[in-house]
Amino acid sequence: METDDLSLPIFEAGSVWLVGAGPGDPGLLTLHAVNGLQQADAVVYDALVASAILDLARPDCERIFAGKRGGKPSPVQADISQRLVRLAKAGKRVLRLKGGDPFVFGRGGEEALALVAAGVPFRVIPGISAGIGGLAYAGIPVTHRDTNSAVTFVTGHGVGGAVPDGLDWAALAKGSPVVVLYMALKHIAAIAGALLQHGRPAEEPVAVVSQATLPEQVILETTLARCAEDIAAAGIEPPCIVVVGEVVRLRAGLDWQGLAAGRVLDPDPLGPSRRRETG
Ligand code: SAH
């Protein structure tokens, strides 16, 4: 790719770029990410980064697998941060490549703070988060004028790996018409149960998008009451985004990948009864 005319930054030796790789489809990388990959001496990457994306690094670039998956204990995290510091202090151009956006449930903030503590210069390159871009590939917008003016992003894993107890599920159920859940598969029954218990309707639509934006992408549409059972029955595998809310109905009109495969789309997927008066 010819990126010379864009005045993209030079990757200085001894610095770290904290880069979001997006949800999987290499086309969703930013130009800053590609520019960084073309210059990096070392790439430290996570489990969710596709090999086609790593292939954009220079052939002589050192590729280091950080191998962290959500919910693992923090000593591993400290090791990764220290590794970034060591590589940078050795004068390398270090690209830390994370799935989605580095600052969305990605511990990018922790790694950046370790760099600050060690006096290592860094740059942050945002990426498309799975909870937004992954849902867009499934034809589900996270906001829509007729359904919601707010959306909440929630992790299904707390610090200790359990459903986040610190969350006020009553407030969430009442105040957030759309809830987008990351890392929620393991605890989906408890999460759906909490939302139901605090007043969300049993028939509220839920979509599960597995391997979003990748060729292996699988989408399951279900309801809050049935989702845990349906996910198990369908054998859905992580990584997955789960979205709860009326926006899921828009998929009947906006499933653009389905359109390409011959699906007939409904231009009025919410129907007159569900459309808010606009004007
Ligand atoms: N920083 C990432 C999230 C890291 S947490 C981001 O912004 O997207 C890891 C979780 O992200 C996974 O458990 C899953 O819930 C979600 N995820 C990441 N990539 C995904 C993909 N391609 N499809 C579905 N979910 C994905």
- Arithmetic mean of pLDDT, 90-102: 97
pLDDT of residue 274: 59
Q: Exposed, middle or buried: residue 224 (CB in 10 Å: 0-12, 13-18, 19+)? A: buried
Ligand 1 centroid from CA 9, angstroms: 28
- Arithmetic mean of pLDDT, 5-34: 96
Active-site residue, from 46, 92, 98, 255: 46
Ligand 1 centroid from CA 5, angstroms: 32
Q: Is the pLDDT of residue 228 over 80?
A: yes
Q: Go through the domains of the chain in sequence order and give each one's CATH number.
A: 16-128 (3.40.1010.10), 131-260 (3.30.950.10)
pLDDT of residue 77: 83
Q: Is the pLDDT of residue 1 over 60?
A: no
Which DSSP string do the residues of 35-99 spell out, in sequence order? Answer: HHHHH-SEEEE-TTS-HHHHTTS-TTSEEEE----TT--HHHHHHHHHHHHHHHHTT--EEEEES
Average pLDDT of the chain is: 92
- Answer yes or no: 1 catalytic: no
Element (H or E) spanning 210, and its range? strand 205-210
* Token pair 């990764």 in the structure block, residue: 80
pLDDT of residue 273: 63
**DSSP reduced 3-state for 178:** strand
Percent of the chain with pLDDT over 70: 91
Q: Which of 1, 5, 8 is nearest to 125 (CA)?
A: 8
- Arithmetic mean of pLDDT, 155-184: 87
Q: Is the pLDDT of residue 174 over 60?
A: yes
Determine if residue 61 is left, alpha or beta; phi over 0 gives left, psi from -120 to 50 gives alpha, anything else beta. beta
- Answer yes or no: 68 catalytic: yes
CA 23/CA 126 separation, integer angstroms? 12
pTM: 0.94
pLDDT of residue 265: 97
Q: Is the pLDDT of residue 269 over 70?
A: yes
State both tokens at 28: 């969703």
pLDDT of residue 157: 81
- Answer yes or no: 183 catalytic: yes
- Arithmetic mean of pLDDT, 92-110: 96
Q: Which region among 22-26, 67-71, 241-245 has the lowest average model confidence (pLDDT)?
A: 67-71
Q: Is the pLDDT of residue 224 over 60?
A: yes
**Biggest distance spanned by C-alpha atoms of the chain:** 63
Residue 241 Cα: closest atom of ligand 1 = 25
Enumerate the β-bridge partners of residue 44. 64, 96
Q: What are phi and psi of 29, to 5 degrees?
A: -70, 155
pLDDT of residue 242: 98
Ligand 1 pocket residue status of 183, Cβ below 6 Å: yes
Percent of the chain with pLDDT over 90: 84
Ligand 1 centroid from CA 202, angstroms: 26
pLDDT of residue 162: 65
Residue located nearest, by CA, to atom 25 of ligand 1 = 240
